[in-house]
Chain A
Amino acid sequence: MSQPIWIDIGPLDQLPTLGGRTLPVLGGQEIAVFRTSTGSVHALANRCPHKHGPLSEGIVHDTSVTCPLHAWRISLVTGEALGEDKGCVPVIPVKIDAGRIYLDRAAALVGAV
């Protein structure tokens, strides 16, 4: 398997603890980037599997985010809906290096190129 190509999307300190930020992808699907209270960073397609709510604006707790539209709870790790709900959003691999956030280019650009 070839090595992933990483895209630098900015410094970690631009991402608030227990918060999310948006990352539009020209021609592709907007991405939501989250940071948990333990400092881990996760990226998902910014589109709830239920009615396409912007997950980036939800409340982050532990390793999940609650969608702002209808309170579906989505795992930041697997992208799967938790509890009774069923559905899944794509997860984009993230790495942190020297205080900056990197996303896996191929996964981030799905649909764009």
Chain B
Amino acid sequence: MNAPILDTLESDRRDSPVTERLVVIGNGMAGCRAVEEILARDPLRYAVTIFGAEPRVNYNRIMLSPVLAGDKSYEEIIINDQSWYDDNNIELVSGDAIIAIKREAREVVSASGRVTPYDRLLIATGSDPFIIPVPGHDLPGVITFRDLDDVDKMLAAAENGGSAVVIGGGLLGLEAAHGLSLRGMKVTVLHLMPTLMERQLDEAAGFLLKSELESRGQTILTQADTAEILGESHVTGVRLKDGTDIAADLVVMAVGIKPSVQLAKIAGLAVERGIVVDDHMVTDDPAIMAVGECVQHRGFCYGLVAPLWDMCRALADHLTENPTGYEGSVTATKLKVSGIDLFSAGDFSGGEDAEDIVMRDASRGIYKRVVVKAGRLVGAVLYGDTVDGNWYFDLLKRGEDVSEIREALIFGQAFASGGVSLDPDSAVAALSDDAEICGCNGVSKGQVATCIGGGADTLDAVRASCKASASCGSCTNLVESLLSIALGEDYGGARTITPMCKCTSFTHEDVRRNILEKALQSIPEVMQELHWTTPDGCASCRPALNYYLLCAWPEDHQEDPQSRFVNERMHANIQKDGTYSVVPRMWGGVTNPMELRAIADAAEKYGARLLKVTGGQRLDIFGIKKEDLPAIWADLNAAGMVSGHAYGKALRTVKTCVGSEWCRFGTQDSTGLGIKAEQMTWGSWMPHKFKIAVSGCPRNCAEASIKDLGIICVDSGYEISVGGNGGIHLRGTDFLCKVETEDVALEYIAAFIQLYREEARYLDRTAPWVERVGMEYIKDRIVEDGEGRRALQARFLHAQSLLQKDPWADRAAGAEANLHRHIAEIRPLALQKAQ
């Protein structure tokens, strides 16, 4: 183009019949970017008119969060000011929304009645926020977070202080919450899912984010389902489906967006979730194009900004007769909350052929996870240190083979591109002597090397002598590398300790000690602090962690049903055909006609196929469907019976004989003591199942000598013995002590159980535990140390005061109802008709 032509551009354009008229609906990022791209290719090709619903020039919508947070002003986020429109001869019609497209006449009609003809039409209407249709959603004070007007409303509300509730813990909701919190409001975030930003983050990173936001004073409620928004003339609060009320002067709905397709739909264009476009962003009407969040391309709708750039490039190429095509985008997410570094990209849902590489550094609050599939990086989640985000994103988009740098990948670009050898040992060898190996204890590489040189030839020896890797354990790999460098083949690498499972290098004891020392409260927290190498553990460690947390923190324990074995999750015993058996508690094996009648009725009513007396003196009702469990429990509860925990790592049964009340040989009231022991102990969770028996005389009809705890009554008192087992490995109990009264017997029972609860490994019965620690140790703790015994008893009773609840009653009342229901049923049409 020659410069002089530009000078006469305006008149040429408006009057020349060869200039095509391009009308753009939407003055947002997509619409304006598309125009910029077209102008860059051929500034004379089109006479452009842009319609915008907002009365403003084009601004950067993704920077609304910094405006709300006070980091930026409106002026700073303007992309194109009025002079851009003027300089490029673009007619901007702002504040006048298009309400109809007349395709036959090739005209658009605006709200004010203005009719504008077009040769080419570009729809860039973006997206609309989702409004949850709960009662009260239209009250004044309930707003969305989509445009500058919304930001103005939030700023106005924040001036009066007060409380805000943000519904939605995704990107937008969290940014709104952050801004409002900085503006001085007390903010509660309600999120329906268990994890914040679950579409971008895995559970571990979501957990770190939640902790950080909470430490900044926000209240984050996950699995919070909004029932209604409260208020008469203005919002006053939010009520959740569980009945919780949260006061609020402002409610921000940020649950998501949907493509804005109304105009296109009315005009009869092909619309599914979004406006359907081809690779050149053309709709099913060749004169009409669409770009941005309103479109659906190859089945995908995008809600992020990056795909816009590629779409607009493809569109402009097409409109200037140089078609290239758009192939869809891989997207990456960053949270714009100052001080929180968070990055996610690609697919981190794992999969069989996918390999997870996880690195956690608890002391620095870092979590990194990259997913490699067939030698290529397919996903990355970074929390706390995102400097390599762009590098990973680049590797991901380019789809390069990363198998060569696989070992070093997680350490980031600087390390992986180091060029030399990528063997982790040589990477460690390359570190300088004063490089810090153990951050917790401040131990340098030189100090570890000295310590190994001084004879510490195992990991445990290093831990013992210089404390490296002895705290959080995150540097264990580094220490092992140093051992292997220093000792060569002499270092077998074999640990003398057995880790809890393949997800961790920590032993059961290490994990329990850390839970207490670091006050770890949840499974994700344990996994983060103790550097779990898998994203969410396995079927072996999750139930163990759930138990350890429950035992350590009875006050605050948050039950995690998904980390329970099926029987404990369903509070019944699964059978080989998938039905369940139900065992109500019979205190000390004693029952009565009312209970028996209720059991008989229930067995008939729910079609039990077998009713059997158990080895523990109770009745087992077999063949109950999971759907019927809450109902049968309600019936049994009504007759006064509670869960027998025949399904649990818990107190099972207290077997008794009839004792001195009836038996001519009986020395004490063994039945009565058994019932007291059962009433004290039922409902307590333990490392494994736990059985008690009380026999009224040494004839031992209750078989007390093969129970976890057995009592044999004698004339002068009660002989207590422990660690028996009648299972695979038959083991008789070891004598603990003899006591004189029932009360003292109960004190010893409670203390022994609590010691077992606190110190045995998950899934250890008492027999192997007693053998491992030795009877001397048990006697020291329970018999010799009276004060310690009473403290153990007190801790047991305290835990019982909090956790001794009948789980059946909760379920009968409707708790966890979904566990007992199908998600749906499929009745194929053909079959239904036939029936």
Contact = CB atoms under 8 A, between A and B. Distances in A.
A17 B536 CA distance: 11
B536 A62 contact: yes
B576 A51 contact: yes
Interface string A18-57: 1101111111100101001111100000000001111001
Contacts of B258: 98
Contact of B824 (A10, A51, A58, A73): A10
Contact of A57 (B198, B569, B831): B569
B507 interface: no
Given A13-B192, A109-B826, A21 B818 contact: yes
Given A40-B349, A75-B352, A113 B830 contact: yes
B195 A17 contact: yes
A22 B626 CA distance: 11
Main secondary structure of the interface of A (DSSP, over half): loop
B729 interface: no
Contacts of B356: 62
B519 interface: no
B539 A71 contact: yes
A35 to B, nearest CB: 10
B254 to A, nearest CB: 15
B822 A22 contact: yes
A89 interface: no
B536 A14 contact: no
A10 B258 CA distance: 19
Nearest to A63: B350
Contacts of A71: 539
Contacts of B538: 59, 61-62, 66
B190 to A, nearest CB: 13
Max chain A Cβ within 10 angstroms of own Cβ: one of B193, B198, B566, B826: B826
B232 to A, nearest CB: 30
Given A40-B349, A62-B350, A62-B535, A21 B823 contact: yes
A28 B822 contact: no
A63 B538 CA distance: 10
A89 B651 CA distance: 37
B768 to A, nearest CB: 20
Interface string B224-265: 010000000000000000000000000000000010000000
Contact of A17 (B194, B225, B543): B194
Contacts of B828: 25-28, 109, 112-113
B534 interface: yes
A11 to B, nearest CB: 9
Contacts of B537: 61
B192 A63 contact: no
Given A19-B562, A38-B348, A33 B823 contact: yes
Contacts of A36: 349-350, 536
B822 A26 contact: no
B171 to A, nearest CB: 15
Nearest to B830: A113
Contacts of A82: 352
A24 to B, nearest CB: 5
Grouping DSSP codes into helix (H, G, I), strand (E, B) and loop, the B interface class, with mixed when no group exceeds half, is: loop
Given A57-B569, A59-B563, A112-B831, A26 B826 contact: yes
Interface size class of A (residues with CB under 8 A): 35 or more
A16 interface: yes
A93 interface: no
B542 interface: yes
A9 B534 contact: no
B818 A68 contact: no
A3 to B, nearest CB: 12
Interface string B488-512: 0000000000000000000000000
A15 B823 contact: yes
B609 interface: no
A101 to B, nearest CB: 8
A78 B352 CA distance: 7
A97 interface: yes
Contacts of A61: 534, 536-539, 542
Interface string A71-113: 1010101101010000000000000011001000000110011
B85 interface: no
B542 A10 contact: no
A35 B745 CA distance: 48
A37 B821 CA distance: 22
Interface in B136-155: none
B400 to A, nearest CB: 23
B202 A37 contact: yes
B772 interface: no
Interface in B700-745: none
Contact of B542 (A24, A59, A77): A59
B172 interface: no
Query: Which 7 residue pairs spanning A and B have beta carbons closest together?
Result: A66-B539, A21-B823, A40-B349, A68-B566, A18-B562, A59-B539, A57-B566
Interface of B: 192-195, 198-199, 202-203, 225, 258, 273, 348-352, 354, 356, 534-539, 542-543, 561-563, 565-567, 569-570, 574, 576, 578, 818, 821-828, 830-832
Given A36-B350, A37-B202, 19 more contacts: A10-B823, A14-B818, A17-B203, A18-B563, A23-B825, A24-B825, A25-B826, A27-B828, A36-B536, A37-B536, A38-B349, A39-B349, A40-B349, A63-B349, A63-B351, A73-B539, A75-B352, A98-B273, A112-B831
16 contacts: A15-B823, A17-B195, A17-B562, A23-B823, A24-B822, A24-B825, A33-B823, A53-B578, A59-B538, A59-B565, A62-B535, A63-B350, A63-B352, A68-B565, A68-B567, A77-B351
